[in-house]
Chain A
């Protein structure tokens, strides 16, 4: 029992931090440009695939550096050659453009690497035990994941609250013309922000590619959950995204470990539910089976109770 709790805590934290890596990049792009980037999870997927390919040619450590850089270039290209034309049409058009892009990137990945999952094993160089918990060892690569995520949060905080560039970008969100009039190149700022956000997604992909299955459906599987994180945390708030990521990460991980259902609870309380009724089916779903939908349940609850999310500001 203690072991399950300990491992769920650790794994939940790793998963939560992975979600945070993804959602922070998304939040960055959203809060600084108003664009909800549907293709964000696709860039994450590209990070995983790039890292695998580069690892095969040169090794893991170069991949850790090069893959996110490639993703940054992809992000910059998306903004510079694609989204820039769509900005003047408004936010709906921007979302739709990235929505189509997600499909296209998914298909391009299939075109390059096929439809089947690829053998993205943890590289030997980081495949060892970090420490032991209650008799079972905990892998180092997961500790590395955690470390990189935390470092990223620190970097983001410093970069945007303490540097001049960060202040300029914050100003450019609400007053792009003013910032432009002050002599800053706002379109170039947007490209930069997109590149940084995409680099973060790519980095998440490099590491997440080991923890999750690396296949063309990666983006579609993780994408919606990242959006839930962003809404629950409060659109545009990075601390909110952190809280929501950890909450959802831990929630899902713990839920997967719990093999009980409402029916078991009723039985323990001595209540009876008629066999064969449709509701009985609802009650008999184990928490571990329901784990994939828990983020969405949280989303709906949050909507009812506090529509602006944990730390969101009132939406304009």
Chain B
């Protein structure tokens, strides 16, 4: 069997076994897995746009949301008697995504780069605002509901349980990944990469970059719509927030933090951000700030994202600089920790004071009780943050030089 087929088989097996892993057998865990799956499909569609073709869109949730709405209306039709089983509903989402992708894409892919980004922003805002004005299509702010169980049974299943919804999602995730990966191996896929790297040169080898962008855009919108359909099945409700700027921003964050250059980065980012969104918001109201800072850090310092970071470290494993890198981490890590603790404390107490005055001034951070009305938590946190940052700044050259060593070795081997 070819290597790539083996990987897909392994992925399929892993997806099939995932909900049976000890600790993941509860409905809430499986619900989280399903959400990650949906986000992954959405992120893969966005990776096609940004990572493979260099098209930065701030309004991709448009196709996710419209696909979601189409799917929920389709599901309602099924509830009313249309004899199609639930697992096929996402196809309605994909069809809607494709249709809108073709129409809007023809308009917007005439320009690339910055103008495309702004247009995607404006278009997204327009459709979002318009959806709110058309309650019979969109249910306004409260959304449209349907039932995933009131449908013909398929393979004896009624798709009511979270486990079954997970498997539907996992199936479509695998199918999307296989299809998108294959798409990148076609002539249009290769040309998409060429357009990303040098759209001008593509003209000189005989192709119209606008046509390439248009095709990629339409395909990407179709898969975003598919993700919207999965969303509709999972929640049994679709509301205007499905096509909001917030959701568009979220998928951008996912793909970039995960690693915009790599296919697998989209999935990594989807998993990480979904987990953060669900879990971190339980611990702190400042989670959006942390997310924003993480994003800025990745853009400025680690443009390859989590996937790039992982690949870098995997490559470094084979060099002789590995011990030096490990040692430099050992030195730098404690300082980074101290600085982080100080900064997080400062942020948390500031948030408490500004946004939850009714909760009082006493709180417990890192197992230490403190009173935000007193000066010492502020001063202490500020000192920790400053001291840790300064020490990190002094320790950083060791890390940099260890990596430079590794880099030289890797380059010489190339």
In the complex the two chains form, is B296's CB within 8 Å of A97's CB? yes
Do B351 and A315 touch (CB < 8 A)? no
Give the residue of B126, B249, B296 whose beta carbon is less than 8 angstroms from that of A104.
B296
How far is A143 from B116 in the complex, measured between Cα atoms in Å?
Answer: 37
- Chain A residues with Cβ below 8 Å from B292 are 100-101, 103-104, 107
CB–CB B286/A111 < 8 A: yes
Asked whether, in the complex, the Cβ of B296 is within 8 Å of the Cβ of A101, the reply is: yes
User: Scoring B residues 295 to 306 as 1 if CB is less than 8 Å from chain A, else 0, what string do you get?
Assistant: 110011101000
B380 close to A (CB within 8 Å): no
A89 in complex: contacting residue of B122, B303, B351, CB < 8 Å: B303
Contact with B along A214-233 (1 / 0, CB 8 A): 00000010001001101100
| In the complex, chain B residues whose CB is within 8 Å of the CB of A295 | 122
Asked if B111 and A93 sit within 8 Å, CB to CB, the answer is no
Total residues of chain A contacting the partner, CB 8 A: 49
Q: Are B355 and A281 in contact (CB under 8 A)?
A: no
Binds B, one of A52-60, A198-206, A285-293: A285-293
Q: Does A178 contact B (CB under 8 A)?
A: no
The segment from B128-136, B326-334, B402-410 that touches chain A is B128-136
Contacts of A224 in B (CB 8 A): 121-122, 125, 245
A293 with B354: CB separation less than 8 A: no
B293 on the interface (CB 8 Å rule)? Answer: yes
Closest approach, in angstroms, between the C-beta of B65 and any C-beta of chain A?
16
B-facing residues in A260-316 (Cβ within 8 Å): 278, 281-282, 285, 289-290, 292-293, 295-297, 299-300, 303-304, 307, 315
Q: Which residues of chain A are near B137, meaning CB under 8 Å?
A: 278, 281
- The answer to whether B288 has its CB under 8 Å from any CB of chain A is yes
Interface of B is mostly: helix
A112 to B289, alpha carbons, bound, how many Å? Answer: 13
Q: Are A36 and B354 in contact (CB under 8 A)?
A: no
Docked-complex contact B299 and A93, CB < 8 angstroms? yes
B54 within 8 A of A: yes
Residue A110 is within 8 A (CB to CB) of chain B in the complex: yes
Chain A residues in 8 Å Cβ range of B114: 30, 36, 91, 95, 235
- Give the residue of A91, A112, A220, A292 whose beta carbon is less than 8 angstroms from that of B129: A292
A220 CB contact (under 8 Å) in B56, B117, B245, B289 = B245
Q: Give the complex CA separation of A111 and B352 in angstroms.
A: 8
Whether A91 contacts B113 in the complex (CB less than 8 A), given A104-B292, A110-B355, A293-B130, comes out as: yes
Does A115 touch B at the CB level, under 8 Å? yes
- CB atoms of A297 and B111 under 8 A apart: no
Query: B355–A115 contact, CB under 8 A?
Result: yes
Does B316 have its Cβ within 8 Å of any Cβ on chain A? no
Interchain CB contact (< 8 A) of A303 among B117, B119, B288: B119
Q: Are B299 and A282 in contact (CB under 8 A)?
A: no
Contact of A92 among B54, B108, B119, B126 (CB under 8 A): B54
Q: A300-B123, A315-B115 are in contact. Are A100 and B299 (CB under 8 A)?
A: yes
Can you add 6 more A-B contacts, CB < 8 Å, to A36-B118, A110-B354? A93-B303, A96-B56, A107-B289, A282-B134, A300-B107, A307-B111
Q: Which 9 A/B pairs are nearest by Cβ-Cβ distance?
A: A296-B126, A103-B292, A107-B289, A100-B296, A104-B292, A100-B295, A299-B122, A114-B354, A293-B129
Q: Would you list 16 pairs from A and B whose C-beta atoms are within 8 A, ordered by A residue?
A: A91-B113, A91-B114, A93-B303, A103-B288, A108-B289, A111-B351, A220-B245, A224-B245, A227-B122, A235-B114, A296-B125, A297-B126, A299-B126, A300-B126, A303-B110, A315-B113
